[in-house]
Amino acid sequence: MLLHLCTWAEVEAYLKRSTGIIIPIGSTEQHGPNGLIGTDAICAEVFARAVGDAADALVAPTISVGMAQHHLGFPGSMTLRPSTLIAVIGDMVTSLSRHGFDRFFFINGHGGNVATVTAAFSEIYAENSLAPAGHNRPSIRCTLRNWYEAPAAKRLSRELFGGEEGSHATPSEVSVTFHAYPDAVKQAEMSPRVAPNGSFTDAADYRSRFPDGRIGSNPALASAAHGKTIMDAVVPDLVESYRAFLAA
């Protein structure tokens, strides 16, 4: 159930049976030689929609541009500064809380978002914690779940890609996007086959260490079929997480 395809009256009705909402958050950043720039946003979105369908949960629009400053050395990458993303999440959550939503389940597709989104939650909670006694601010609860850390995602990564999963432009995430957008499947030679590992700081540093954009991965292993396998296995994990979150 997509918020964007509802009328306000349908949302009003939904709120009578649930105060939870799923918010997909991704990124717009290079994903190596054959990965799509929208990989993280696409993954977050397709998982969120599938979970929304399975759990009768409302799904908000995807936050497509995340915190990806380190990818700016590659054409097409975009970032919000952490301070901007904190403001965005604050405004979105506050908007929805006005209607009675109080359980915000973010499905995340990008490791680079984790720290900033977590800080954004604290910024929101801090408004309550610093408010004068007797305030009338609603009590809300936010959580961030990385689809690629769901138990099934980790298991399948090992089974399908072994030591070639890596941590950026992984065959798992590329597979999910190939399944979602079969017309956008790309081919590219990987050289070296498996990309180097390591840490990074800013965009120039990242590009010098990871010249084609990948970290530790071999996304030539990706396929739409693997993507379907991953989707089918991971969605139930996320549904269970969502239900547990509502019940907490």
By CB under 8 A, the residues from 38 to 97 that bind a second copy are 38, 41-42, 60-62, 64-65, 67, 69-70, 72-84, 86-88, 90-92, 94-96
Q: What is the distance between the alpha carbons of residues 61 and 211, in angstroms, rounded to a whole number?
A: 33
Least Å distance, CB 162 to a second copy, is: 24
User: In this chain, which stretch among 5-13, 150-158, 159-167, 220-228 interacts with a second copy, using CB under 8 A?
Assistant: 5-13
246 interacts with a second copy by CB under 8 A:
no
CB atoms within 10 A of CB 199: 8
247 interacts with a second copy by CB under 8 A:
no
Q: What is the distance between the alpha carbons of residues 122 and 142, in angstroms, rounded to a whole number?
A: 10
Q: Where are the alpha helices (DSSP H) in the chain?
A: 8-17, 39-55, 82-98, 114-129, 151-161, 171-180, 203-209, 224-247
Using left for φ > 0, alpha for ψ between -120 and 50, and beta otherwise, residue 100 falls in left
15 interacts with a second copy by CB under 8 A:
yes
Q: Which is nearer to a second copy, 22 or 67 (CB)?
A: 67
33 interacts with a second copy by CB under 8 A:
yes
Q: Which is nearer to a second copy, 7 or 191 (CB)?
A: 7
196 interacts with a second copy by CB under 8 A:
no
140-179 mask for a second copy (x: CB under 8 A)?
Answer: xxx-------------------------------------
The residues, any chain, with a CB within 8 Å of residue 189's CB and separated by 6 or more, are: 33, 220
25 interacts with a second copy by CB under 8 A:
no
**Which residues does residue 106 pair with via DSSP β-bridges, in sequence order?**
23, 144
Q: Where are the alpha helices (DSSP H) in 58-150?
A: 82-98, 114-129
248 interacts with a second copy by CB under 8 A:
yes
